[in-house]
Structure 1
Amino acid sequence: HQYLVITPILARDEISEIRRLLQQVKPKEAIQQRQPSLDQTVTAFESLKTMVLAADDMLQHFAVTEITEAVTTSGATIDAMLAHLPDVVAEAPVVKDALLKRLELAPVGIPDTGLAMIHTSSQGVTVPYIGAFDLKTPLSLPAMDMGTIMLHRVLLLLTPNPVAQETLTLLSAVSAKLIASTTNLQLFEKGHYSQLYQIITEVFMNEIKKIDRR
């Protein structure tokens, strides 16, 4: 800190010295006031970058895949799905175990549909993923209303562990979109590739815009 000793009655040279010191101090204060805004901008940029990269990864890998082999158990269904994801899943047994534990935790079948949404986070996953798998042979599966559905399509959501909050935000937004209306639910259940790709892209863009508006 700089100190200036002055007399009660200021001389002209003392006034000039005070003005000079104030001019030196004011820019520092202005910088300190702008700093929080700069920090917020940097944080928003990093969050935006993380979300865009996650969205790009998921859209690059998105597909609607038909499981042609006859699967009669949840475990066999998981095996068949993971076999199609060599670029997403590095350790299939680890991911399978995580998915089976998720199924044991609570039913995932959506009542009055042939659709189930399954999500897990695992160290065996290399990049975030969302995709749909259609079963040629329907599988009986417990539903969320404690009933049973005949499973025709699985919406599979996978994330690495640990996972960025921005990735979870994207997948949560997809889940919310799915249950937002009967029309959306039917689209996710029966829609073809281009329809699903479009709606997922729209969901991702909406979340990205939220960060961009901060």
Structure 2
Amino acid sequence: MNNNGASKWKKFIENVKVIVILELIIMGIACFISIGGEEGSVNGVITTIFLIHLFFGMYYIMLTFSKSGFGEAMKSILIQGGLLIGMLMMIALTNESSDHTVIDSYSLNFLKNNAIEVDYDKLYHIAFERYGSQRNQLVKFSGKVFLLDGSDYILIDMSPEPYKNQVVYVKRKEQDHMVSINDQVEIYGKVLGTASVAKHLDKQLNVPVIESYSLTLR
């Protein structure tokens, strides 16, 4: 290897060392801020790293431009852009994962304190007429097991009278009680939206869909 090649390699190694040290510092700062702010989740740490990295990335690009010109600055933009895009993807993935973790860890006391007790009309209104975060309302309701749709879903009949078709689709968890047709159950869950039950009934009918967090026999 000639002197010019050795010099470039040495410079590359030095740059890598600097970048690694800076990344470790950024990660340390992010962890400290996230934990100090009571957001000690993976998503919180990555989000904080992203924000700090955005600031240092812009500073590094401007510094590169002033010292080495437009060509080197463009390389820095591509590198920093790739890192930031990767972090955004990680934030999105961990955010979805953390949402499921929080939901799955709901205690019965939390559900009792935060869920609203609903009849079918109220549940129907939430499922069909609300959007976004409002549709994620925690609810409590009871009814009779109308149909078992595989291992993941059951249909609950909330009708006070026979043949009213006040049916609810419930997505249940593995830890839920095993149920049979005509069992009376009490459910705490989150409103997901609506779905058709035409394959189970003789007529086209869209009904509320609930994700169960607690399903017990009455």
- Is this a same-fold pair by TM over 0.5? no
Structure-2-length-normalised TM-score: 0.31
Greater per-residue strand proportion: 2
Structure-1-length-normalised TM-score: 0.31
